[in-house]
Every structure is written in structure tokens, then in C-alpha cells.
């Protein structure tokens, strides 16, 4: 049987990742030397778009870039991965977003994000994009590196059209109830889920708002799949990680592809875990994302 090719729209950020590799992460006030430096295309939105496309989905990216040279790097990476870039808006008076990333030899990392053009993605810009690509998608992927009101507007457009909304709440901020009411699947890490709980959004409250599943990612400890009636632990795949940047984005994208293809919840999480683990064995974010053929070559296939 031929598997459905899902249509996924991503509304989110695009960043140039300036990445320095160091033996150990610095302490406050400490100066250290880097033994390698790379410039990668990144941004949580663009990362998830590229990862989903490489895993076989038809993907549209919606976001903002500056008019500088970094914009070409990002558009080229998306286009080379097969992502539609026709709904990316160029902001003339802002730089392309950037992230300064330190990666420790143990694979741990620290990231500082400079929003740039991402911060200019205001709700009125939806008039310049083809919102039918949101309404007709099999899933909408959202993160929080663009203004909250724009992510919320995208969620409402999708929700009103019956399109499943998958929210990766990173970086964490105060989320309005009205926003969460338009979310179907929430994918926080352990820290983000704890912050939601501290704000009064317990799992029970999230279910009351209409969220169907909460996928709590825990890195090497795997994923806790929270449903109204149960919680399941899905173990992480065992690999020798060298760079964890982008692993979370790979997980979100791979889950969206699998789940939108009709794969069951736990099977989709297992597939996403394997894809995310594979990405940690290579440097960079988008440069590390696997193609579906690469996963199949090592025995990882969509169920």
C-alpha cells in the first residue's frame, strides 16, 4: 500500500546559526578558545520545515527574512530540501535572525537567539501569504521564536479549518488560554512542561483546553507520552552523539510526518526518536537532518 504523502505547513523562525565548537562551555567571566566554527542555516521554524521535507512530506515555510546575505543561505537550504519558500516575506529594515551557538565536546550546547526579521512577523503580514496553505495542510507546526500573536493567529486559522496544530513551546513564554485552545498536540521538553505547570497549566488543565496529547521530550531519557487516561514512556534510540543542536526540531518534524501519514501515536513517537537520535551523530542543525532514505538504510522505517 502506498503511504500518504502529508502536507505540512510551518509558521515560524528562520535564523543563521553561528556555531562555535569548544572543549567545555565557559563559566561567567571566562574566555575560551574554539577549535572549530561553522555557519549553518537554522531557526526552529526553518529547521522543522527542512527536517519534515527530508522525511518525505510536502512542506511550506511561512516566515520572515532580512534583505542581507544570510537570507540567501536560508532560502537556498530550504529550497534544496524541497521546501516551498514562496510564502517567506523579506523585511527591508531588519537583519535576518541569528543564533550564536556554543557546542561542547560532550555535545551539550548553549544558544543565544537574536530575532531580527523574525520579530517583524506581525499578524498583518498574513495578508501577504497564501493562508490556504495553512487551511489545506495535514498539520501546522508552530514554535515561539516569532511574535506570540502571530503564532496564535496561525493556530486559529488552522484550528478553524480542522487542521491539527502541533506546538513546540520554545522558547517558553506566558501562553494565553485562547492560544492553547487552538492547539491539538503539545511538544515541550521537561523544563518547558514544568514552567507550564507552574503557570497553572497542569496536564489536566491542558486536556480541558482541548489538547489531545502532550509529548514531553527528555533527551537521552526518551519521551513521555501523556494522554488523558495514561502516560507511556518511549525510550530514546542509543547513539554516540556529537552535536545535539536541532535534535528537538528533528523530533517534532519526524513526529508530524509520521502522525500525519496515519501512523499510530506511539509508533510515530518511536520513529521521531530514531530520527532525532540519528541527527545528533552529525554536526549542525539542518546539515544533520536525515533523509528518509538514510533512515531506511539503517533499518528505520515508517511503521
Q: Which residues contact 159 (CB under 8 A, 6 or more apart)?
A: 165, 181, 182, 183, 184
Q: From the centroid of its chain, how far is CA 294?
A: 20
Q: What is the separation, in whole angstroms, between the first and last Cα of the chain? A: 12
Q: Is the peptide bond before 149 cis (omega within 30 degrees of 0)?
A: no
Q: Which residues contact 290 (CB under 8 A, 6 or more apart)?
A: 54, 55, 250, 275, 278, 279
Q: Is 249 a catalytic residue?
A: yes
Take residue 254 and report the three cell numbers written for it.
Answer: 519526524
DSSP letters for 162-189: T--EEE---S--PPPHHHHTT-SEE--B
Residue 273 exposed, middle or buried by CB count within 10 Å (0-12, 13-18, 19+): buried
Take residue 133 and report the three cell numbers written for it.
Answer: 496553505
User: Could you give the CA distance from residue 145 to residue 285 in angstroms, rounded to a whole number?
Assistant: 16
Q: Which of 17, 87, 138, 249 is catalytic?
A: 249
Neighbouring C-beta atoms of residue 69, cutoff 10 Å:
9
**Closest residue by Cα to residue 43 from 67, 21, 11:** 11
| Residues with active-site annotation | 249
Amino acid at each position: 500500500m502506498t503511504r500518504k504523502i502529508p502536507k505540512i505547513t510551518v509558521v515560524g523562525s528562520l535564523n543563521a546559526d553561528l556555531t562555535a565548537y569548544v572543549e567545555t562551555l565557559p563559566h561567567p567571566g571566562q574566555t575560551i578558545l574554539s577549535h572549530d566554527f561553522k555557519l549553518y542555516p537554522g531557526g526552529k521554524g526553518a529547521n522543522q520545515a527542512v527536517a519534515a521535507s527530508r522525511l518525505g512530506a510536502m512542506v511550506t515555510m511561512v516566515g520572515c527574512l532580512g534583505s542581507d546575505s544570510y537570507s540567501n543561505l536560508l532560502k537556498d537550504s530550504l529550497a534544496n530540501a524541497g521546501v516551498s519558500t514562496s510564502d517567506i516575506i523579506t523585511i527591508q529594515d531588519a537583519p535576518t535572525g541569528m543564533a550564536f551557538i556554543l557546542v561542547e565536546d560532550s555535545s551539550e550546547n548553549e544558544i543565544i537567539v537574536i530575532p531580527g526579521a523574525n520579530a517583524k512577523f506581525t499578524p498583518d503580514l498574513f495578508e501577504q501569504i497564501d493562508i490556504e496553505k495553512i487551511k489545506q495542510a495535514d498539520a501546522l507546526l508552530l514554535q515561539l521564536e516569532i511574535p506570540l500573536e502571530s503564532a496564535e493567529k496561525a493556530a486559529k486559522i488552522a484550528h478553524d479549518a480542522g487542521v491539527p496544530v502541533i506546538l513546540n513551546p520554545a522558547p517558553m513564554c506566558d501562553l494565553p488560554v485562547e492560544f492553547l485552545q487552538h492547539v491539538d498536540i503539545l511538544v515541550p521538553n521537561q523544563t518547558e512542561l514544568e514552567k507550564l505547570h507552574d503557570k497553572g497549566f497542569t496536564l489536566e488543565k491542558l486536556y480541558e483546553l482541548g489538547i489531545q496529547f502532550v509529548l514531553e521530550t527528555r533527551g537521552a531519557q526518551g519521551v513521555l507520552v501523556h494522554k488523558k487516561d495514561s502516560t507511556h514512556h518511549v525510550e530514546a534510540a542509543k547513539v554516540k552523539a556529537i552535536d545535539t543542536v536541532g535534535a528537538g526540531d528533528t523530533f517534532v518534524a519526524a513526529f508530524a510526518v509520521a502522525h500525519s501519514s496515519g501512523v499510530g501515536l506511539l509508533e510515530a513517537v518511536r520513529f521521531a526518536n530514531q530520527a532525532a537520535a540519528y541527527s545528533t551523530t552529525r554536526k549542525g542543525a539542518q546539515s544533520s537532518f536525515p533523509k528518509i532514505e538514510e533512515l531506511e538504510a539503517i533499518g528505520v522505517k515508517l511503521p
